[in-house]
Amino acid sequence: MNITLRQLRYLMALARHGHFGNAAESVHVTQPALSMQIKALEAEVGAVLVERTSGGVHLTPQGRTFADQAARVLAEVATLERIARQPGQGGRLRLGMIPTVAPYLLPVVLPELRSGDISRDLHLREATTDRLLTELLQGHLDAAVIASPPDSPDLAALTLFTDPFLLAGSAARIADLADRAETLRPRSLDPGQLLLLDEGHCLGDQALEVCGLTRHSGRLDLGAASLATLCRLAAQGMGLTFVPQIAARQEVAAAPGLTLIRFAEPQPARDIVLVRRISTPAGGWFHELAAILRRAGEAADEKGRPGGWP
């Protein structure tokens, strides 16, 4: 069966107007052209869809059923056309986010994404940076939020916000560092006291980088897969760990006894970026998404400033 969208549109016009001439005028074709397409549609379907009487044009019972289905098909086509005109708007948006951002940014950003046309069908994926970039390059994601600019000519990135690192530990451990807060720097820390995320998590790698360390620098390697685990261990006096500012309030609330201190200026920080494929037409959706995420990041940053520390 070879039914065309043109034939469906002509049938719907005929159903609305009940007159070949008026229907043809509404779709900007001649009456013979419209009549010929309706006859071709009936031949394709193998049934009479239109009654031609002296009193006008009416759909047969089968024609009405067919027209109902045609209306649904044309509505879906209209949705596809709208998505094609505005990539990322009103359709499925597949967004990836790293684990050290997602739990703290999503509660702030989801309400705005859901209230806007940008995320009528929003699919979220939480994974490590390498996994997200692989899925982005393979076309399984439309965009990803990561904490380091990608090193690929096939990807484009926009910086959303800067997220400072704080040092976290038990009250006793942080009190021992308080007298040198004005000169406290990551490289002055004892590697043996550092608790970091397992290999593959960019937060752990970034913390090592700002400390001038490697994975084999004599620190306590627990193979932790979540920041929440590290914070609970640090709160119990097991060592010190790095906490992004956007995560501070949530982790302090979840780990009783966890205490934070800022590093001296210039404070170590990570840049949170939104990434897409170069080949994906950006249109307005990418910049609109970046603006929403940027606002959410600023709000999360403010919420990440618990009382009791500068």
151-183 burial, b at 16+ Cβ within 10 Å, e below that, comes to eeeebbbbebbebbbbbbbbeebbeebeeeeee
Least confident of 164-168, 187-191, 205-209, 293-297: 205-209
Integer Cα distance of 104 and 297 in angstroms? 9
In 60-201, which residue ranges form alpha helices assigned H by DSSP? 61-85, 102-115, 129-137, 171-178
Q: Which domains does the chain have, with CATH numbers?
A: 5-85 (1.10.10.10), 91-310 (3.40.190.290)
Q: Strand, coil or helix: what is 129?
A: helix
How many angstroms separate the CA atoms of 291 and 151, rounded? 23
| pLDDT tens column, 109-128 | 888 777 665 555 778 899 99
Q: Which residue shows structure tokens 């990434």?
A: 275
Give per-residue pLDDT as tens, 177-230: 888 878 898 888 888 888 888 766 787 778 778 787 665 555 555 566 788 999
Q: What is the pLDDT of residue 303?
A: 60
Q: Which residue has the tokens 């609970």?
A: 232
